Amino acid sequence: MEAVHRDWRGAELEPKVRALLEFAEKLTLRPWERRREDLELLRAAGWGDREIHDAVQVISYFNYINRVADGLGVDLEPEMPAPP
């Protein structure tokens, strides 16, 4: 878990999990680059349509609520490190 927290790209992960993390990163950092092929890669890795739907909902909500908090200047929780 620590390796995933440090940098998931260098962690030993199942291909199914790695595919989801790659998708989540792309949807978070470069949503305009998302293509139909991204969904096909998830399906090929073993994710079903319902699982993909749920993942998109969670990823998107997390991104949304973080942007709301950033926009309103909400303080971080004590256990969360400040951004660089």
Name the CATH superfamily for 2-72: AhpD-like (1.20.1290.10)
Report in angstroms the alpha-carbon separations of 10 from 24, 38, 74. 16, 21, 32
Distances (CA, A) of 39 to 11, 51, 65, 81, 82: 23, 11, 24, 33, 33
Tens digit of each residue's pLDDT (9 = 90 or more) over 46-63: 999 999 999 999 999 999
Q: What is the mean pLDDT of residues 69-74?
A: 89
Q: Is the dihedral of CA 59, 48, 36, 42 positive or negative?
A: positive
Say what the pLDDT of residue 70 is: 87
Name the pLDDT band for 84 (thresholds 50, 70, 90): low
Question: At 10, is the pLDDT very low, low, confident or very high (cuts 50, 70, 90)?
Answer: confident
pLDDT at residue 65 tops 70: yes
